């Protein structure tokens, strides 16, 4: 077996191994069974088990131990993430119907935005974008919302690696100009990108927050001739902010601070 790095915490590995030992289909395990499963002495296994009992992840029943519902907390965030597109879909559908425009939910993945859900509008000038597609984050309204929300050091790291190019005559021209735009987006809480990626499209995006957790960016794509820029922000933003909050509420419920603020 290869030598573990200096930072490696063996007890953390063993603690997780104890919890995973219950995944074999056995709902209750004894000290001896756990010791054999993770390769430690009975005394060591007992210490791990009692610690997990104290933390609320296990409960002792006679000579055996069982998991408690609290073990679900470990994977709850990941599992919730898997259902975010499903939660968002009816809200995106409602928004698309009300505005007669294409709506989407995106997340940031490195230098790109990743479409995790999208409701198309048949009459919209078409960009061939579907769920799972990527676009450069720096040139999209969704990407600018997500990048603007990053901590300053991560935002600067993103800008360092951004590969700017001229998609249209209106595409942001430099990193300095992009940094200024991100500061503006961060301050106002939304982004409007007008024909920078495609001459036939404008995009308006707002962040989707649950408490302090940024879940993604909500976007509406708008044809240039259909509505003026001022009308976009005046008419669409309030509805988009409400839909973003609805998605967050349905995804994980309101946080305590949100409930207190609305009480």
**Pair 182, 191: CB distance under 8 Å:** no
Q: How many residues does the chain have?
A: 263
Q: Could you give the C-alpha distances from 29 to 15, 45, 61, 63, 106, in angstroms and in order?
A: 15, 11, 10, 8, 43
Question: In the numeric block, which tokens belong to residue 190?
Answer: 């939304």
Interatomic CA distance for residues 167 and 189, integer angstroms: 25
- Given this structure, which CATH class describes domain 10-67? mainly alpha
pLDDT at 1: 47
pLDDT at 36: 94
**Pair 24, 38: CB distance under 8 Å:** no
Q: What is the pTM of this model?
A: 0.64
Specify whether domain 76-262 bears CATH 3.30.450.40.
Answer: yes
pLDDT at 53: 95
pLDDT at 142: 97
pLDDT tens, residue order, the chain (263 aa)? 457 788 888 899 999 999 988 865 567 899 999 999 999 999 999 999 999 999 999 999 999 999 887 887 776 665 555 578 888 999 999 999 888 889 999 999 999 999 999 998 755 544 556 687 889 999 999 999 999 999 999 999 999 999 999 999 999 989 999 999 999 999 999 999 999 998 888 899 999 998 888 999 999 998 766 665 557 788 899 999 999 999 998 886 544 344 333 33
pLDDT at 240: 96
Interatomic CA distance for residues 38 and 13, integer angstroms: 10
- 3-state DSSP call for residue 101? coil
Interatomic CA distance for residues 216 and 204, integer angstroms: 14
pLDDT at 83: 72
pLDDT at 127: 54
Strand ranges for the chain from DSSP E = 28-30, 58-61, 64-67, 102-109, 112-119, 134-136, 191-194, 202-210, 213-222
The domain segmentation of the chain, as residue ranges, is: 10-67, 76-262
């Amino acid at each position: 077996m290869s030598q573990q790095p200096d930072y490696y915490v063996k007890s953390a590995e063993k603690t997780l191994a104890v919890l995973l030992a219950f995944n074999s289909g056995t709902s209750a395990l004894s000290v001896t069974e756990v010791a054999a499963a993770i390769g430690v002495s009975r005394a060591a296994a007992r210490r791990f088990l009692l610690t997990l009992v104290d933390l609320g992840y296990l409960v002792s029943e006679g000579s055996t131990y069982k998991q408690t519902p609290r073990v679900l907390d470990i994977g709850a965030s990941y599992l919730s993430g898997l259902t975010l597109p499903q939660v968002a879909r009816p809200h995106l559908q409602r928004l698309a119907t009300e505005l007669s425009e294409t709506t989407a939910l995106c997340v940031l993945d490195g230098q790109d935005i990743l479409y995790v859900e999208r409701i198309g509008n048949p009459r919209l000038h078409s960009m061939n974008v579907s769920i799972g597609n990527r676009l450069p984050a720096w040139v999209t309204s969704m990407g600018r919302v997500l990048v603007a929300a990053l901590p300053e050091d991560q935002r600067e790291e993103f800008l360092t690696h951004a590969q700017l190019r001229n998609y249209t005559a209106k595409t942001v021209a430099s990193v300095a100009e992009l940094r200024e735009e991100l500061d503006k987006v961060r301050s106002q809480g939304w982004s409007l990108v007008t024909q920078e990626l495609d001459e036939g499209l404008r995009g308006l995006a707002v962040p989707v927050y649950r408490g302090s957790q940024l879940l993604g960016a909500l976007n509406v794509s708008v044809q240039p001739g259909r509505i003026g820029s001022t009308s976009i922000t005046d008419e669409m933003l309030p509805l988009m902010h409400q839909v973003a909050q609805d998605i967050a509420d349905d995804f994980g419920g309101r946080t305590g601070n949100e409930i207190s603020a609305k009480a």
